[in-house]
Structure 1
Amino acid sequence: MNIYNNYSEKELITLLREGDTDALSRLYYLYVKQLKYFVLRTAKSSLLAEDVVHDTFIKVWENRDKIDCELPFKPYLYTIARRHLLNLLKRAQHEINIVDEMRRSVINEENSTELLLDYSESSSIFQEAIKSLPEQRREVFIRCRIQGLTYKQAAVELGISESTVNNQMVKALKSIRGFITIRSAMILLIAATIK
């Protein structure tokens, strides 16, 4: 990949459009620190910033044929990252609003204090969700989210690529979110029928 060090951004974009993964790696190397700093200013979370940066480069790869070689790459990259971060933040806020709404509706029910999940039950559901993941996905999730390793560190520990770690994290978060949503909904339905 050393030959890529001498290529201009325009040449790297041309190679990227042709499906050259080494060109993507070089662009990643050139922009990853700046992009992470840019995202971190808004995200205020190193882990979230790392997720957004990795997702941004995945989107660049997936849409490589749409990149205009004549336009500067950095604004294109930052626009993708900003939009992705804003979508994640909106989704997180939406989920918080749903949980708050569910909590308010349960609190309004008679004897609702008995129906609220306490911390140990919530923790138990979360542990079940993690255990339900396929082995590699579970290992990636534990290292990145629980142990606090970076995607790069987790990749080295598990002997897999950084992009595999990123893909497994995306799938793990989606699975865990779905598991918890279904389990919580079931508990609320059971609680409503007990009334």
Structure 2
Amino acid sequence: MDNYTGLTEKELIILLQQDDEGALRPLYESHLKPLHYFILRIAKSKELAEDVVQDVFLKLWENRNQINPDQPFKTYLYTIAKRHLLNMLKRIQHETFIIEEIKKYAAPVENTTDLQIEYSESNNVLNEAIDKLPPQCKAIFMRCKIQGMPYKEVAAELGIAEGTVHAQMVKALRIIKEYITFKNAILLLLAYLKNY
């Protein structure tokens, strides 16, 4: 940190663009608390705000060559943060909708033999759908939805960004929903054809 003491944000950004990872630390430390507070006011979730802050600084490093050192850094940083947060909220909303759709197929209603068989078949279809997922997608889905691990822990365990966990969960739930819809369509068709 001593090497960067007294440097302006513009000088730190120039160092950042020269692949100097150390220059990211003073930028992170000076903007961490206000940025976290800014996101928290919108997200209303401490955990989500922390996720966004970490992802934003990761994006900052990955896109360091796109930063204009002559433009206000704070404006650039907060624009990225707001955009990233809105994307995450859209993903979460979409994910919640898909989970509710899946529950419609998998939830037992009464304890009758017919419904138990139907529930068992639904679970089999759900398990088939999970097996169809690509390896990373399946690993993330199993940890998040079956084992109930938070996205943060899954990201740390698999050595990936939390944004990747969110994206893979959206992908997994889309694939599962499509598979369940497809299987149900076939079952309905077979039931229809039986009558002829």
Question: How many Å apart are 1:8 and its aligned residue?
Answer: 2.4
Give the gaps of 5 or more residues in structure 2: 109-121
Per-residue CA distance 1:52-107 (angstroms, 9 max, x = gap): 2233223322332221212221221111111222233345445666788x79xxxx
Task: Specify which of 118, 122, 138 is matched with residue 106 of structure 2.
Answer: 118
Q: Distance in 2 between matches of 1:168 and 1:117?
A: 27
Aligned to 2:68: 68
Amino acid at match of 2:177: T
TM-score w.r.t. structure 2 length?
Answer: 0.62
Aligned partners of 1:13 and 1:23 also within 8 Å:
yes
Aligned to 1:25: 25
Aligned to 2:49: 49
Per-residue CA distance 1:100-136 (angstroms, 9 max, x = gap): 8x79xxxxxxxxxxx94133757x948974996757x
Aligned partners of 1:133 and 1:175 also within 8 Å:
no
Q: What does residue range 1-195 of structure 1 map to in structure 2 within 5 Å?
A: 1-93=1-93, 116-119=104-107, 125=126, 129=130, 134=135, 138=139, 142=143, 146-148=148-150, 150=152, 155=156, 158=157, 164-166=160-162, 169-170=165-166, 172-193=168-189, 194-195=191-192
Aligned partners of 2:56 and 2:80 also within 8 Å:
yes
TM-score w.r.t. structure 1 length?
Answer: 0.62
Amino acid at match of 1:146: G
Give the gaps of 5 or more residues in structure 1: 104-114
Q: Secondary structure at the match of 2:105?
A: coil
Count residues with an aligned counterpart. Answer: 176
Q: Secondary structure at the match of 1:146?
A: coil
Aligned partners of 1:126 and 1:176 also within 8 Å:
no
- Cα distance, 1:173–1:5 mapped onto 2, change above 3 Å: farther
Per-residue CA distance 1:24-64 (angstroms, 9 max, x = gap): 23322332333222212222233332332233223322332
Q: CA RMSD in A?
A: 4.3
